[in-house]
Structure 1
């Protein structure tokens, strides 16, 4: 009997090594709008509950095998105390043309409390840290292979050019995240960052929609229509 139990333990250990852990990051199902030239990636690092001792978000983005965003990539960040820019538009800060000149400047990863953050920002009594980074794409096609990776604690939501493309699955973050959205409002959610060097990312693959310059200046009336059309298209 003892030998049978020991054999069973060995089998379980081998299976755990062979079978990859389920990825907590989940693609939204929306196509990532990507242009040739400059683009904007935005991420919300989300605490599980008030009093959280640490928070981290590090993003990696690969297009056709070329890394265009990674740890050390320049970014801006803020810990919001209200919806930005407004309660009517709580995710407007993810748009390429949003003005983030007053945000803190640094490099990915962002967060606090676990010694794996290049831009230390935040405290545990608030739910989120927002971050934004411009990245350059030399070539993009509708069939380009786009791989998005994140190393995070406790949760995250990620946008490309204003469109949500991925978030951590099975959290209490609402469909439209607001500044005070926690990952755990009764679900018991918990997720730890890898704390490895280099980071250990969880990856999802994204479908692509090739777009024009997301930073292009347009007349105000046309801009409002374009944003509406962009959102309606996703």
Structure 2
């Protein structure tokens, strides 16, 4: 708000209600599925609009105070020009078993512009850069303290083992992000990365769902019924 003094009268002017809402990292409300052993975190760095000069996503993940993902963590990345793996499954790339062997390899952060990215990838006429990273967990409990941090420009969506756990609030990114989803389609959204060293993260705390190995492959010849069920049919 501001004060305007006119003819000896102080007029209190209240800031317009049309000002853009504050943007911040926000938990999805879904429990983060985490296993003992290997897990996958995936992130979409999202541009605000075509022609953006920079894009950044750096992720930090802490479990019971131990950092398991941070700047410099090995990752893969791609700037998509179509939905991956398909229009019917535009977020299938966030699943642990998705094959990313042809993606670029490097370290977090990912993006381009401003010289704050370890893996430089992307250009401003496309909406997103996708990234994936495997992380190791030695111990996990349903009451473990899980803190997810992100430093990003312009927006981001983050998944753990295929479940969306956080995204930036007050953007125009749809519920199921697609390769050409921008953060600003009329909302006036804008967000800048910290550009600090080390990064300045925005944090959310996540509830946990303890799961089995997310990379496990079901046997191709698995019986449709148990031997006990077969005998019961006679």
TM-score after normalising by structure 1? 0.86
Q: CA deviation at 1:14?
A: 20
Which is higher, the Rg of structure 1 or of structure 2? 2
4+ residue runs over 4 A deviation: 1-23, 220-234
Q: Structure 1 stretch 19-28 or stretch 31-40: which is displaced more? A: 19-28
User: 1:23 touches 1:202 (CA, 8 Å); kept in 2?
Assistant: no
Where does residue 11 of structure 2 map in the other structure?
11
User: 2:23 touches 2:191 (CA, 8 Å); kept in 1?
Assistant: no
Where does residue 32 of structure 1 map in the other structure?
32
Between structures 1 and 2, the one with greater helix share: 1
Q: CA deviation at 1:228?
A: 26
1:98 aligned to 2:98? yes
Inter-partner Cα distance in structure 2 for 1:40 and 1:229 = 36
User: 2:52 touches 2:124 (CA, 8 Å); kept in 1?
Assistant: yes
Deviations 1:115-156 (A, max 9, x none): 100000000000000000000000000000000000000000
**Per the alignment, in what secondary structure is the counterpart of residue 15 of structure 2?**
helix
Compared with structure 1, are the counterparts of its residues 3 and 132 closer, same or farther at alpha carbon in structure 2 (3 Å cutoff)?
A: closer
Deviations 1:47-72 (A, max 9, x none): 00000000000000000000000000
Compared with structure 1, are the counterparts of its residues 215 and 33 closer, same or farther at alpha carbon in structure 2 (3 Å cutoff)?
A: same
Residue segments in structure 1 that go unaligned for 5+ positions in a row: none
Compared with structure 1, are the counterparts of its residues 3 and 89 closer, same or farther at alpha carbon in structure 2 (3 Å cutoff)?
A: closer
Inter-partner Cα distance in structure 1 for 2:232 and 2:171 = 25
TM-score after normalising by structure 2? 0.86
Deviations 1:199-218 (A, max 9, x none): 00000000000000000011
User: 2:5 touches 2:11 (CA, 8 Å); kept in 1?
Assistant: no
User: 1:43 touches 1:157 (CA, 8 Å); kept in 2?
Assistant: yes
Where does residue 75 of structure 2 map in the other structure?
75
Q: CA deviation at 1:191?
A: 0.1
Q: Structure 1 stretch 13-22 or stretch 169-178: which is displaced more? A: 13-22
Q: CA deviation at 1:114?
A: 1.1
Q: CA deviation at 1:219?
A: 3.5
Residue segments in structure 2 that go unaligned for 5+ positions in a row: none
